[in-house]
Structure 1
Amino acid sequence: MGLVDGASGPLAREREEAERRKQVEEQAVPAVSITKAKILEEVKAKEADQKPVLSLVVVGHVDAGKSTLMGRVLHELGETSDKEIFNYQRQSEKIGKGSFAYAWTFDAMEEERERGVTIDVAIDSFETTRRRFTLIDAPGHRDFIPNMISGAAQADAAVLVVDGSNGGFEKGFEGGGQTREHAVLVRSLGVQQLIVAVNKLDTVGWSQKRFEAIRESLQPFLTQTGFNPAKVAYVPVSAMSGENLTRRTSEVLESWFEGRSLVEELDSLDVPQRALEAPLRIPVSNVFKGQSATASGLAISGRIESGIVQVGEKLAALPGDETGVVRALEVEGELVPYALAGSNVTVYLSAIEANQLSVGSVLCPPSQPVPVASSFLAQIIVFEPQYPITAGYAVELFHHSRDIPATIVALEALLDKTTGQVTRSNPRMLTKNTSARIRVQLRQAASAGRTSGIPLEPFSVNKSMGRVLFRRGGETVAAGIVLEVLQ
């Protein structure tokens, strides 16, 4: 015979305790103290005095030297001390990986250090003369592409690191390497500014011929991928020696390269226009119990894609029907009263349970919710799938940090890649380098009382919330934009 929970039974007491805890948390949260209009005034007043902030993702084939390169840049700029680097050198030499000392600035996981590859996305910050950067060091190994997508989805600009040593570039660009896919991914996820760092060029005596050959191989491919050649810069560097990261000392390199150093190129990047007045959208990239020196409790991290968030504000977590209250906000390790579009933020929440949030959730105002869709129309560019795409084609759909099983249920039209005009209705299949309008249906069933949809918006409404990417069998097969949310 089963137990019945009465008015004073254990389940009732548990519910009362949860309700009491929720009320205490809500009382501890300060009320919203400043209007959005006042914040916008403050932001405009500060723009003249403060360096603009950009998010930068570093991508490229495994072993191209991404983590070492950016670890060295942070050291050259004084963000890491000589003592820290000396400690990393001593520790890495103990396990026979002395050349990985700078990479350990980012690769803090034991498995990363033992294997010598980046697995998770590492986030740091640094300043140049004219800019402040949130630096996202993404994994290059094929096994960790979903992590890399999550990192690239948060970026304003990218550094594509290629291996300039003999055979190194070819290994990454041709035979199944990640150089091509990473370039395609960052462009598909909205990155328009790209710096190509040709690393390890010291191993070929700073050969101008080698540098030019790499540029000539990459340029047509990057243009075809959608990068404007005027927004792509090529810089010869050596991560190990530090050459041309902040300055040039090699007479050979000086004799033929008249361009800028890597840091000078970073300093000249354009600052994107931020959608400050659009409704707030924060795709969640991590959920955790925060225990920092400044705040604690349930926390999420993510990039604010549009709008403004402030302490005391009530936010809806979609998909789902729960709301939470912002207890505290942290940007670059500091508590702030509000945070703006373009910022990578940690949001401490109360009055909501951890099981109502997950990677891929989107935080937004309850009065301006993101549509939660299980079906949508998209305009896509097909890359080079192993097999042609047909109706019923199963894929992994990526949207910000979320990946979810989906099916391309209908091929509605082939499109002209230049004009977007329909060239054929209801095609039988989609082959490489074609553009098309398709209908997509999610395959995930509802679970734990939450809806099975994914929060997204048409590209015409919110560019960053309207980008989607499709993978199958370990390769990226297509990417595009949401035209219409169907349900």
Structure 2
Amino acid sequence: MYQRQQTTPNSFLFDSKLSEVTPEGQSGIGTSRSGEYEDGQMFDMDAVESESIFTRSIQLISSLLVYFRLSQLASIASTPVTPKKTRYREETKQLINLVVVGHVDAGKSTLMGHLLYQLGYVDQRTIHKYRQESARSGKGSFAFAWVLDETEEERSRGVTMDVAKTSFETISKRVVLLDAPGHKDFIPNMITGASQADAAILVINSARGEFETGFENGGQTHEHAMLLRSLGVGQVVVAVNKLDTVDWSQDRFHEITTIMELFLTKQAGFSHVRYVPVSGLDGDNLSDRIQSSHPLAKWYSGPCLLELIDTFSAPPRASEGPVRIVINDVFKMTTNLLSLSGKIESGEVEAGDKLYIMPTGDAAVVKACSNDNGGAVDICMAGDQVLLTLNGTFEADTIHTGHVVVSGGQDVLMPCRHFVARIVVLDIAPIVKGTKAELYCHSLCESCTVVKLLSSINKGDGSVIKKKPRFLAKQMSGIVEILTDREVAIEAYTKCKALGRITIRARGKTIAAGIVERKLS
């Protein structure tokens, strides 16, 4: 009789009665062994032991992988890094990363495409071509939108699907324009665009019934505004578009701005919002103020859209901090070369710098870098949208959007799966222990689980209201523990704001937003 303790799918203990079964005329070599559960049923002892050996082997391999992973990260963290003196680039204009958001069909792409045309960034021949092609496809009014909606699918569907990126200049600013999608199916892409922004234009469709559809439940005007604020965008201009469809009505403009002002300042938390009446299709009040003969001149004498864009201020840049470059796209990847685009959230880079890509830990050396102007530059700095070419040893399909390029040594960013966050609940459905969701932070998206509710807190002073609450309801704030399915490159908000802001979505809705307080593992 052998006594063995085994955890089975039913989680019970059994006594195994082992006996050797030897075919007649054969020795014990090659015999099979069987056992008997307490209920009399037989089992194959060899299969049990084989399964046990297999399980132990898997556990050993997993332990070795964890050991090698920790050794890899420890090696990166202990790598000596030669201190670099911060360099300053001569700038004649401030850099502004500007995202354009709003409900689907608000006219975002048409508005900005027409502005680019008026500024001379798109020539007459191109617009003439777009007018002919869009008319043939039955979308004659989409010619200016095609300046930014460049893919065949976007043009055939008539909606922006990904973030279009271009640049232009005002009198005092160098603007990187991020045209974000408005359809609810592409909210993840909108978050990617907004997470890179210093300021925003929120486009409103003022046509009768259209503003109401975009603002009420299910409309993206409301969600986009909340996302902007949770992602740290504090400067916003509301472009009240398509006002020509209501004969440039002052009453309609006042109705919309009154509703939006109450929502944006009292609920979303913006401190100062400016409004401008425009027509993206006709190009009115975009790059120049309207003439005195224009119907709008009867009641509006304020600045045009371009003038308001020029008033945005650039936030402080962390050029002296450790290198943190969020990857927004990977263009080319071979075994020894990687080309990517991203935004430098802190630090500065130049050719020859040795960097690391997290969470994979791949080492790389900068071969070349260029900023949003498209030309190679000696140095790229915090705030820049960059194109990087890196040399290294890379495995196919291992580096993606949402990974982060970092410096080594004591400044390295350690990836994690488990962290503590301070959140505010935005959805009607409460958050409970075990809530499954998608975590958004900078350009990454990863499945996650809320594994603990540590406390509910006062939104004003952060004091604890209740420890270990059973749930967090809408508008409640709390401290929670979150576990992601895979390692992610994030940081505490106090170390890097851009890598410490999080948005949590589930069931196609934004359910919470907050900041990373500390990483656990």
TM-score band w.r.t. shorter chain: 0.7 to 0.9
Residue 246 of structure 2 corresponds to residue 212 of structure 1: no
Give the structure 2 partner of residue 460 of structure 1.
494
Question: Aligned with 2:87: secondary structure?
Answer: helix
Tell me the alpha carbon deviations over residues 126-159 of structure 1, each in whole angstroms, 9 at most, x when there is no partner. Answer: 0111111000011111111111111111111111
Tell me the alpha carbon deviations over residues 219-278 of structure 1, each in whole angstroms, 9 at most, x when there is no partner. Answer: 122124443332x11111000111111221353312222321110000011111101111
Residue 207 of structure 2 contacts residue 245 of structure 2 at CA under 8 Å; is this kept in 1? yes
CA distance in 1, matches of 2:412, 2:266: 36
- 2:166 paired residue among 94, 104, 124: 124
CA distance in 2, matches of 1:418, 1:430: 16
Give the structure 2 partner of residue 302 of structure 1.
342
Residue 82 of structure 2 corresponds to residue 39 of structure 1: no
CA distance in 1, matches of 2:208, 2:460: 37
Letter in 2 for 1:473: R
Question: Aligned with 2:275: secondary structure?
Answer: strand
Tell me the alpha carbon deviations over residues 364-408 of structure 1, each in whole angstroms, 9 at most, x when there is no partner. Answer: 0122211211111111111124x2111111110011111111111
Give the structure 2 partner of residue 395 of structure 1.
437
CA distance in 1, matches of 2:361, 2:492: 22
Give the structure 2 partner of residue 282 of structure 1.
325
Question: Aligned with 1:305: secondary structure?
Answer: strand
Question: Aligned with 2:85: secondary structure?
Answer: helix
Give the structure 2 partner of residue 22 of structure 1.
none
Write out aligned runs for 1:219-234 (5 A).
219-230=261-272, 232-234=273-275
CA distance in 2, matches of 1:427, 1:256: 54
- 1:137 paired residue among 176, 179, 197: 179
Residue 130 of structure 1 contacts residue 267 of structure 1 at CA under 8 Å; is this kept in 2? yes
Letter in 1 for 2:343: R
Residue 395 of structure 2 corresponds to residue 347 of structure 1: no
CA distance in 2, matches of 1:441, 1:57: 30
CA distance in 2, matches of 1:455, 1:316: 12
Letter in 2 for 1:63: D
Residue 162 of structure 2 corresponds to residue 107 of structure 1: no
Residue 284 of structure 2 contacts residue 290 of structure 2 at CA under 8 Å; is this kept in 1? yes
Coordinate RMSD, CA, aligned: 1.7
Residue 67 of structure 1 contacts residue 106 of structure 1 at CA under 8 Å; is this kept in 2? yes
Residue 190 of structure 2 corresponds to residue 148 of structure 1: yes
- 1:324 paired residue among 346, 356, 364: 364
| % identical equivalent positions | 45
Residue 68 of structure 1 contacts residue 240 of structure 1 at CA under 8 Å; is this kept in 2? yes
Compare 281-290 and 205-214 and name the one that shifted more. Answer: 281-290
Residue 290 of structure 1 contacts residue 348 of structure 1 at CA under 8 Å; is this kept in 2? no
Residue 422 of structure 2 contacts residue 478 of structure 2 at CA under 8 Å; is this kept in 1? yes
Write out aligned runs for 1:80-479 (5 A).
80-230=122-272, 232-246=273-287, 247-249=289-291, 251-289=294-332, 298-332=338-372, 333-353=374-394, 354-367=396-409, 368-385=411-428, 387-442=429-484, 444=485, 452-479=486-513
CA distance in 2, matches of 1:297, 1:104: 33
Letter in 2 for 1:351: G
Give the structure 2 partner of residue 486 of structure 1.
520
**TM-score (norm: length of structure 2):** 0.81
CA distance in 2, matches of 1:227, 1:432: 16
Give the structure 1 partner of residue 121 of structure 2.
79
Question: Aligned with 1:210: secondary structure?
Answer: helix
Question: Aligned with 1:197: secondary structure?
Answer: strand
CA distance in 1, matches of 2:202, 2:85: 39
Tell me the alpha carbon deviations over residues 5-44 of structure 1, each in whole angstroms, 9 at most, x when there is no partner. Answer: xxxxxxxxxxxxxxxxxxxxxxxxxxxxx9842613xx3x
Tell me the alpha carbon deviations over residues 68-96 of structure 1, each in whole angstroms, 9 at most, x when there is no partner. Answer: 00001101111111111111111111111
| Change in 2 beyond 3 A, CA 1:227/1:74 | farther
- Structure 1 residue 455 displacement after superposition: 1.2
Letter in 1 for 2:349: V
Letter in 2 for 1:155: A
Task: Specify the structure having the higher radius of gyration (Cα).
Answer: 2
Letter in 2 for 1:342: G
Residue 229 of structure 2 contacts residue 270 of structure 2 at CA under 8 Å; is this kept in 1? no
Residue 329 of structure 1 contacts residue 348 of structure 1 at CA under 8 Å; is this kept in 2? yes
Letter in 2 for 1:376: F
| Change in 2 beyond 3 A, CA 1:235/1:154 | same
Residue 337 of structure 2 contacts residue 393 of structure 2 at CA under 8 Å; is this kept in 1? no
- Structure 1 residue 63 displacement after superposition: 0.3
Letter in 2 for 1:39: R
| Change in 2 beyond 3 A, CA 1:290/1:204 | farther
Tell me the alpha carbon deviations over residues 170-208 of structure 1, each in whole angstroms, 9 at most, x when there is no partner. Answer: 010014111111111111111110010000001111111
| Change in 2 beyond 3 A, CA 1:258/1:275 | same
Letter in 1 for 2:324: R
Residue 225 of structure 2 contacts residue 268 of structure 2 at CA under 8 Å; is this kept in 1? no
Give the structure 2 partner of residue 15 of structure 1.
none
CA distance in 1, matches of 2:267, 2:493: 19
CA distance in 2, matches of 1:166, 1:417: 37
Compare 141-150 and 219-228 and name the one that shifted more. Answer: 219-228
Letter in 1 for 2:114: R
Aligned length: 434
Residue 36 of structure 1 contacts residue 308 of structure 1 at CA under 8 Å; is this kept in 2? no
Q: Where in structure 2 are there 5+ consecutive unaligned residues? A: 1-81
